Structure 1
């Protein structure tokens, strides 16, 4: 299946040149409820769950994708107000998991436990894939990756996952307001330029969506 990663122009071009995506660290994500969405009454339990999250933060990270690229909110929020780029990847569905959106925070009893001591790795995975339904517009799929050797960039440590058979680049979709040229995309793709499709997007004429611009002459 195809899923889509939204980036600003600078980081999209870098991803194409380096043939890899940056792995997001768990405690740096933009939702404070990530991985700690359980409704817990006790301070001790809340602290323990945060410690579990902190441990995961040190060992693993995620790459977030969306199941659709046509939603203008995704372009506005994650592609620099439509000035960015969406990268389409063919993924193994077993490698990237569908996020479940809920209106209420789950309780321990919903997981079949009375105390936090009984929580299992399967429960942790379930929490990793549970988000408040206000985020449902993202239609997110998540891949979990071990943090291997990091790189120091701009004073911080960053981790990357290379393109692969399980995360294979298939399309480059240039946003309606993006200034990047067709030649720049081709140069960044290098050896992939012959097998990866690239095109420019535009606002739909009839509905509230972002669609492919069929006028190829618009994008030089």
Structure 2
């Protein structure tokens, strides 16, 4: 049997959402038209009306069938913790994800001009990569890696990806302002506790990073 390569990636969220995800063994899928970047899938120059119409149609078509799982390459950033980890009162979930499902986001200062409406099988893969994985450079602090997944599992108008062999929970990092107790996290993990690492983070003493608090006695 071939061994599938994995990548360790991280997802920041509020504490209550994190506990729900752990208990229900799933992660929320972001819809393309529901993300916080209005330029999502619009990295190309759309001054030309025909190009603009074509890209908008493609974007709407994608939105009906596919969504995004958005991760970061690391969990160290205090900015990530502040923006997506509820001002350090949230959690960061670490996952081992099949590497072939993930692609790094490329950050650019300017919109790309290489869009073409003609069918070119040789240039299509590179064009599609730019279409799906390019964002404005000011988002680079997110250090994003993403996966496109089908919108299959719906719950109250939201879509989720269930934990499985392709995406497994391996870390629960608790923000240094988070009020979650150790026992509450353990309760949510249940039978996952034996192979999921759980710890609280704190500001590093010698860098601008959030790091593991090695003194476990400080978290009850």
* TM-score in terms of structure 1 length: 0.92
Could you list the runs of 5+ residues in structure 2 that have no partner in the other structure? 1-6
Correspondence for 2:39: 33
Name the counterpart of 1:160.
160
**RMSD over equivalenced CA pairs, Å:** 1.4
Matching residue of 1:46: 52
Classify the secondary structure of the residue corresponding to 1:118: coil
Runs of 4 or more above 2 Å deviation: 115-126
| Aligned-pair CA distance for 1:165 | 1.7
Among 52, 55, 59, which residue is 2:61 paired with?
55
Deviation at residue 119 of structure 1 after TM alignment: 7.0
Shift of 1:47: 2.1
CA distance in structure 1 between the partners assigned to 2:111 and 2:50 by the alignment:
18
Q: Deviations along 1:105-149, whole A, 9 cap, x unmatched?
A: 1112xxxx5x32437763234311011111111111101101114
Partners of 1:5 and 1:45 in 2: CA distance: 34
Aligned partner of 1:138 in structure 2 is 142
Tell me the secondary structure at the aligned position of residue 70 of structure 2. Answer: strand
- Segments of structure 1 that go 5 or more residues without pairing to the other structure are none
Q: Which sits farther off after the overlay, 118-127 or 87-96? A: 118-127
Is contact 2:153–2:161 with CA below 8 Å preserved after alignment?
Answer: no
| d(CA) in 1 for partners of 2:155, 2:14 | 21
Corresponding residue number in structure 1 for 2:152: 148
Alignment partner of 1:136: what SS?
A: helix
**Aligned residue in 1 for 2:4:** none
SS in 1 for 2:100: coil
Distance 1:212 1:187, change over 3 A: same
Matched position secondary structure for 2:99: coil
1:92 matches 2:98: yes
Q: How does 1:178-217 map to 2 (within 5 A)?
A: 178-217=178-217
Which of the residues 105, 111, 115 maps onto 2:111? 105
Paired residue total: 211
**Separation in 2, partners of 1:27, 1:165:** 28
